[in-house]
Amino acid sequence: MQMTDDHSLVDKILAGDQQAFRWLIKRYETLIGHVVGRIIKGDEEREEVCQDVFLKIHDKLSTFRKEAKLSTWMVTIAYRMSLNYLEKNKMETVSLSAIGDLPMEQAQLSPLEQEDLKNTLEVAILKLPLSYRVVITLFHLEENTYEEVCAITGMALGTVKSNLFRGRKLLKEIVEKNKEISSYE
């Protein structure tokens, strides 16, 4: 079971096993990179924030309560540090680089139609307010549960559900508006 493996890994790291921490980084670098990359635009800035996130994880690992999922705890740190970095540096937010991971019925679409849909969604998601973009990313693309999204963002369950509902509605409106515009071109 992954949770047991994660808990054993935490125990090894807390016992001073540096190899275990390198393994933790390797195991979760993609997940942390996706979360940070959804919020921070520049490659160098993303890399810097990801490094800072893993340093913070290492420093705070002794505070990890094992009744939670390690990945959720780590994503929470990444999310909050990304928002703090964004606020501190007043940077622009970025598109969802892994928009191709969006679960959809792509088997019925040609490769050209899939690419067009991916681009349309990417542009539409960029137009969403940050709070909507974040919950849509965490819930749909990262496939977190409502409770995990609440834990990561610090939002109440009602706020998460409301932001998901409003974000989906706005996303649909943006996509439909883009379709209308492209049909006139």
Nearest by Cα to 20 from 29, 12, 32, 8: 12
Amino acid at 128: L
The per-residue pLDDT for 20 is: 92
Alpha helices by DSSP H, listed for the chain, are 2-14, 18-37, 43-60, 70-89, 111-126, 130-136, 146-153, 157-184
The per-residue pLDDT for 104 is: 40
* Widest CA span in the chain: 64
Residue 104, helix vs strand vs coil: coil
- Alpha-carbon distance 103 to 119, whole Å? 15
The per-residue pLDDT for 43 is: 84
The per-residue pLDDT for 90 is: 64
pLDDT, one tens digit per residue, over 51-94 is 999 999 999 999 998 887 898 899 989 988 988 888 787 644 44
Residue with tokens 């706005």, as numbered in its chain: 170
- Residues in CB range of 180: below 8 A, 6 or more apart: none
pLDDT < 50: residue spans in the chain: 1, 3, 91-107
Nearest by Cα to 72 from 156, 170, 139: 139
Backbone angles phi, psi at 184, to 5 degrees: -85, -15
C-beta of residue 94 within 8 angstroms of C-beta of residue 49: no
Tokens of 52: 């800072």
C-beta of residue 81 within 8 angstroms of C-beta of residue 52: yes
Residue with tokens 């964004």, as numbered in its chain: 86
The per-residue pLDDT for 179 is: 67
The per-residue pLDDT for 181 is: 60
